[in-house]
């Protein structure tokens, strides 16, 4: 019997080393090398040899490669299909990560019900719960009478053999951190175990082919637990986010080889499971109070969908020598920059003022089209003067105080019109590309000063 050997692997890039190093020579990360046991026997074998895969006989010309017509499978949940790019791709490996209790298992179990009813058998593998516990959740969600199979197992060899025998259309493994391979001496959740189990499942998904979705744990910093190479191996990485004090959940794609990474799925968590939110704009503006200083609405683009959100600001005299700047849902450095533009270009004396900016509802905005809304909200709060409640604000703000053009203006305006807004303050450069009849009054501005005059009356 071969003697077990020890190696050190980087948890970020997978670099191998014979001894421990403080800094990885591959990616430069500090304190990232973890000791692992090399496979007892057959550790040098390739993944193809492990599963008996045969060689394809050499490369194939791109014109001769065939693509299946029914390569995508709908999950039956429109918001999930939107983030995936139209549905699950046969032979793909998807990773769904999120905080504990955020609703990952619930969402996948609901999708499994639709998939089993429409596209064939689904296998749900759980390494954290027993079959009885999964059945209790399924009963709460009203799942019965569908071709859904449950397996409570943590040995990846048993899971793979079950998949080969059952040949399901979709496999869910909850979670990859609980799986282990017996030939590795380390415990489940170890860097080596996570990487090896994911590699075996990936090879199986390509060989059969079958769509596989892995559930991943996250660390306290919000990153996916395990080696960073795990995110490189899979075809799509989805994050399910949300605040515990809010009923909604946001499904966001950060990697997708078969679709866009800009799409966003909105769900509401209720007692019967995850419910799609077809109109997120109305959802985020449901509790908006009109006629209050420091509140502005901006249409943001999340992928191909415009979403109206409320940007709030509070400006108050500082009680300390150093004024505070705080941004929730927005980039902090960008918010400080916009406050400096107001101070320098508009003449607002913000040097001794605390500035707090927040996106109501907990949504995070990354695009620069919300700059003008942030500027307007800060100015409105500083002057204690409400902005026009019937207007939406769109535009990127430059350091010289100019308002720059943004994309997809017509889609944003159409969404604002559906929710009853009658005016839109937008960059002047966008005005010439708009149609004559937009259904909403367009106020084109070139500078921040013009925008504040239109929204705050001077």
Annotated binding site for ATP: 98-105
Closest to 397 in 3D by CA, of 423, 377, 422, 421: 377
Report the sign of the C-alpha dihedral through residues 77, 153, 123, 176, in that order: positive
For the annotated binding site, the residues are 98-105
- What Rg, from alpha-carbon coordinates, does the chain have? 26
Measured between alpha carbons, how far is residue 34 from residues 7, 13, 92, 226 in Å?
A: 8, 12, 29, 11
- In degrees and rounded to multiples of 5, residue 456 shows phi and psi of -115, 0
The C-alpha atoms of residue 83 and residue 391 are separated, in whole angstroms, by: 30
CB 429 within 8 A of CB 404: yes
CB 330 within 8 A of CB 360: no
Contacts of 392 (CB under 8 A, 6+ apart): 297, 298, 299, 308, 412, 413, 416, 421, 423, 424, 425
Q: Is 104 helix (H, G, I), strand (E, B) or coil?
A: helix
- In degrees and rounded to multiples of 5, residue 383 shows phi and psi of -85, -10
Strands 170-174 vs 391-393: parallel, antiparallel or unpaired: unpaired
Both tokens assigned to 301: 């683009």
As separate numbers, helices (DSSP H) first and strands (DSSP E) second, the chain gives 13, 23
Closest to 33 in 3D by CA, of 51, 13, 60: 13
| Size of the chain in residues | 458
């Amino acid at each position: 019997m071969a003697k077990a050997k020890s190696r050190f692997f980087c948890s970020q890039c997978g670099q191998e080393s014979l001894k421990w190093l403080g800094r990885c020579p591959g990616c430069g990360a500090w304190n990232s090398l973890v000791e692992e046991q090399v496979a007892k026997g057959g550790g040098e074998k390739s993944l193809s040899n492990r599963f008996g895969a045969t060689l394809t006989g050499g490369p194939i010309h791109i014109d001769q490669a065939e693509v299946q017509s029914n390569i995508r499978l709908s999950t039956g949940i429109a918001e999930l299909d939107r983030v995936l790019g139209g549905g699950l791709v046969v032979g793909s490996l998807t990773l769904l990560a999120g905080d504990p209790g955020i609703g990952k298992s619930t969402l996948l179990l609901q999708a499994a019900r639709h998939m089993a009813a429409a596209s064939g058998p689904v296998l749900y593998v759980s390494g954290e719960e027993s079959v009885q516990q999964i059945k209790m959740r399924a009963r709460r969600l009203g799942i019965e009478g569908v071709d859904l199979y449950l397996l409570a197992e943590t040995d990846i060899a048993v899971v793979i053999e079950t998949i080969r025998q059952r040949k399901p259309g979709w496999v869910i493994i909850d979670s990859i951190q609980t799986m282990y391979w017996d030939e590795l001496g380390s415990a489940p959740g170890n860097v080596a175990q996570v990487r090896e189990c994911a590699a075996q499942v990936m090879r199986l998904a390509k060989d059969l082919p079958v769509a596989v979705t892995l559930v991943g744990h996250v660390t306290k910093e919000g990153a996916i637990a395990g080696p960073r190479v795990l995110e490189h191996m899979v075809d799509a990485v989805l994050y399910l986010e949300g605040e515990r004090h809010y009923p909604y959940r946001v499904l966001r794609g950060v990697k997708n080889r078969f679709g866009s990474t800009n799409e966003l799925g909105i769900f509401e968590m209720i007692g019967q499971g995850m419910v799609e939110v077809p109109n997120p704009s109305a959802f985020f503006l449901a509790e908006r109070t009109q006629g209050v200083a420091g509140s502005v609405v901006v249409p943001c683009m999340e992928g191909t969908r415009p979403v109206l959100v409320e940007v709030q600001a509070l400006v108050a005299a500082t009680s300390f020598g150093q004024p505070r700047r705080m941004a929730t849902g927005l980039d902090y450095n960008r918010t400080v920059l916009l406050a400096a533009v107001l101070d320098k270009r508009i003449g607002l004396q913000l040097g001794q003022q605390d500035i707090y900016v927040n996106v109501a509802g907990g949504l995070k905005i990354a695009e620069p089209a919300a700059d003008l809304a942030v500027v307007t909200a800060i100015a409105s709060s500083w002057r204690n003067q409400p902005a026009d409640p019937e207007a939406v604000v769109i535009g990127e703000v430059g350091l010289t105080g100019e308002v720059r053009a943004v994309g997809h203006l017509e889609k944003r305006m159409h969404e604002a019109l559906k929710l009853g807004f009658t005016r839109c303050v937008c960059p002047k450069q966008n005005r010439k590309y708009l149609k004559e009849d937009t259904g909403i009054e367009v106020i084109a501005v070139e500078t921040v000063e013009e925008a504040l005059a239109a929204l705050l009356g001077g």
